[in-house]
Amino acid sequence: MTASHSAAPRPHQALPGKPLAGKASVPGDKSISHRALIFGALAVGETRVSGLLEGEDVLRTAAAMRAMGAEAERLPDGSWRVRGVGVGGFAEPADVLDMGNAGTGARLVMGLVASHAMTAIFTGDASLRRRPMGRVIEPLSLMGARFIGRSGGRLPLAVVGAQQPLPISYTLPVASAQVKSALLLAGLNAPGITSVIEPEPTRDHTENLLRHFGAKVEVHDDERGRVITLAGQPELRPADIDVPGDPSSAAFPLVAALIVPGSEITITGVGMNPLRTGLFDTLLDMGADLTFSNRREQGGEPVADITARHSRLKGITVPPERAPSMIDEYPILFVAAACAEGKTIVRGAKELRVKESDRLAAMARALAANGVALEELEDGLIITGDGQAPQGSALVGGASVATELDHRIAMSALVLGLAAKNGVAVDDVGMIDTSFPGFVALIQGLGGNLTPETA
């Protein structure tokens, strides 16, 4: 069990206070961290990973790799050593794979198991057991795998891998980097060419790392969308990885600086993959004072240092086609919108309803309870911001938010509290460690008034 689910809840509150100031770095990118462990386990030999996110989600993936015969251990210098077993070399796990809250880890490891002649049983925490897995079950079944689980394809779920996996060509009905990645991972142990067609480009960390480890991957666009083809059964070579800072995590302190008067902070070494920067583009459209400096490459990905200064934000209509590049950042965008002048209209974000919680409904409740005017749509929100005055937000705040075991709801609500007149409380911060260990300390270090809530 993760700390957030085995221990008593840890309620916290955020209150307005002095401006945020300083420089900080955020933990390693969660998407890349999951994949770094998996690809290291698929290579023959030893891979070193530095900057790995050591959150609960990623540690569950590390445990799953060990359960299937690879080695994954943290070294004294903070880096990780992964000794892989090679494509097709995984062993059947002796026990249930408990993926905790890790939706990414669960779907990616299911892809691995699907093309190996073994059976693995997956479970997770209460939040993950509610999340539908049908979108990966359908295409992986076409490759020969069998699935036995609860209604709706929910965990606990047994995956019986294919004895002779089949390469397929599959068009994603909904843009999803997790489903795409699960199929490509399954395709590694299938003969011939596996193709995935995505209607809109999604984060391409899997494709980048496949190349980094020596697989043959080709990407092109045609009338169907973006087509990714993978040649199966390669011998992957070990390849060291330096994981950049997670842009999804950087979003929280950066938005906090934008909405707290007088603030100026810099977050260093943030991943700038163009398929992950939709939030930054949206904030710039809203008038955010963001600057990007020291651009460089790290671990095969572009990175930069990002400085955010308090800004008078304006409401905008967010392009729906931007959703795949900012799907995890919508909760914190809603906070920025609550502090902007005028209406922010978000559509095309129905995917938020099947995340760790129904993030559209959860954020609508959290914002409304704290005095934000909004309308909830099937696929988004219309938020009427408070027209933030130079001396501070007109946002009332004062409510306690039910985080629903969702780390991004908890962090978003706390950032809102830094700008609200009466602050905002949350019922628990324990689950934040799944993606952003040290979040509370980082915000406090920048000057944020964030403390345990007392009765």
Tokens 């993936």 identify what position? Answer: 61
How far out from the chain centre does Cα 129 lie? 18
Q: Within 10 Å of residue 150's Cβ, how many Cβ atoms?
A: 11
156: preceding bond cis by omega (within 30 degrees): yes
Residues 6+ apart with CB under 8 A from 92: 68, 118, 119, 120
Beta strands in 276-417 (DSSP E): 289-298, 301-309, 317-318, 343-346, 373-377, 380-384, 400-401
Q: Of 189, 204, 289, 306, nearest to 247 (Cα)?
A: 306
| Inter-residue contact 147 to 106 (CB < 8 Å) | no
Query: 398, exposed or middle or buried, with CB in 10 Å at 0-12, 13-18, 19+?
Result: middle
Based on the residue annotation, tell me whether 328 is a catalytic residue of this protein: yes
Encoding tokens for residue 358?
């129904």
Secondary structure class of 138 (helix, strand, coil): helix
Whole-angstrom distance, CA of residue 99 vs CA of residue 76: 25
Report CA-CA distances (Å) from 364 to 132, 222, 382: 22, 38, 10
- CA atoms of 449 and 420, how far apart (whole Å): 12
The structure tokens 């008593």 sit at: 8
Q: Are strands 97-98 and 373-377 parallel, antiparallel or unpaired?
A: unpaired
d(CA 217, CA 211): 7
Q: How far apart are CA 152 and CA 155, in angstroms?
A: 9
Distance between first and last Cα of the chain = 27
Choose the catalytic residue: 57, 305, 328, 386. Answer: 328
> Which residue in this structure is represented by tokens 């993959």?
273
* Cα torsion 318, 330, 50, 265: sign: positive
**What b/e string do you get for 106-123 counting C-beta neighbours within 10 Å, with b at 16 or more?**
bbbbbbbbbbbbeebbbb
Q: Give the residue numbers annotated as catalytic, written as ranges.
A: 328
